[in-house]
Structure 1
């Protein structure tokens, strides 16, 4: 089935989710899902020159268009007073992109790329009609861009209930879109290949450790410091410490390999290789780990607004993981608790089942289909599109 716009041509979809991987990865997962549904759909990613999208989007084979960034200052200062001027410039640039690609719908994922896209779509007319907007909120607490956009969006979807967008209209809870390689991952069937890929023991219980794309000092120090205890317990480790960091694990002779890498470019194989993960609790991390059915020890960032704790709480309450404060994750905690966790196979299986049940493997498809429905239902005669009421 081919999705067509009002002129009979294939649909043109713009995804806006630049800046951090937490915004970019869901956007790319939905872009991939759109092409799985209909390979003729034109997908354009909107980003800025300062975000990770300059690498991630081209690597995933999608068209990237850049606009000026408009980060919103957290404190009152001179930067705050320049926001209106910079926002106008960014909205104009976004409108130019929408016009050039003949956009039929904008899908936004929050962050400083999305707000200009939402405003440009609202103001831009194509064939006498505005460009509809679909929003996806990944975090447990919505950001400013999505709070603004949700006021006039045609459809709003979220990872979890209670994100703060409900007061602006109906919100469909669909989970967080994850890349297709994770949505279809069979950890058990892929384990042998995954462990061979990383040079891990084929048989030893294996701990995966990562703290996001840049690593996390608390995780690095506490786990590497417990290398002797982990090795003595016969536990293998796959540890992504971040490209700018190093770790020096002192494993005992004869212990399963402790593999330390700067960055994991095959997260699907990393999840398949592991029996347990120690990680931060960013929205994307929680989504990928739970969709993979991997038992987890979530260690939220100790600063910020507590968002990471909120992200992890639902899957933890469902039995899919543990929630540990950053200050509590010490070398002694790892040495005392991780071997016991990995030795209890029945408990790990219960956690895995609970995590998989909480995960949403079809979220990317749900967002993609919602966008197609909104685009096709947005009639040029001014009648309301199907879905969210304005």
Structure 2
């Protein structure tokens, strides 16, 4: 198969052959009949080569490398001088409660603090009636967030900031507070790319220094019973997704399923290694948490995730921030496909640009 694939890749004779034949014909070294034969050969090989590669490359065996079972080193660690800090921008009363509940579960898991953040757009006159109304609205949102946090027995430190740009205000505050995580939400999903990643969350996702959890919560995180976490790579960023699901499961007793999708059936040895690697991502967890690991064999990753999520309350995925040719943030194709088809809650975890550049270089 390897020889056939290589032969198929080297078979097309187009550019150099055609140029040499034209020069030879113009110089009188090759007849018109030979030139026509070269053109026919060029067409045949240009069509036949890709067809051969397409048929043979699918069946090429993929070498199975040894997978380490050691857990990746995570930077989500609270210290004695700085607790695990979660910044939660509050600007939509419809999503505020679920956001605070999610932040409270994560803060409880890490022994951290929630910092609800309200941004007031700067005005030319700070004593204007409009500025006073904005301040009152933001203070009301922060008061509600503080009450929710206190009722959930977590430390709450509300923040009110004046800034010219909301997205920059969120990113700057997160940096100033040395936040470990920013949690934001959106209420509409049918125009996912246009509405979500073209506006506020677009800019925060691109500029924040820490992971950003973009959430669409259809129910209270405290009532979820089954969380699905697709696993692609075995890195610290993947471990962050697992830790969010475990933080939810620790309170509600939810089942957490880690799913790895592969296009070809793995050997028994490799499947066992994959199971160990996925469990290593979870680290040391309470025996009360029902952790399941699955290896799903299917070429269409998005379809496999949607199938597994049919009976789940939450799917936790990862998204990559990259600039498109138009300058906008583009979401990965798999995340986009899954988000459009899911009927349950969704969390997309965006990692800082420095993190995934570092992983790509390794």
Please say which structure displays the higher CA radius of gyration: 2
> Does TM-score exceed 0.5, indicating one fold?
no
Q: TM-score by structure 1 length?
A: 0.29
Scaled by the length of structure 2, what TM-score is found? 0.31
**Greater fraction of residues in helix:** 2
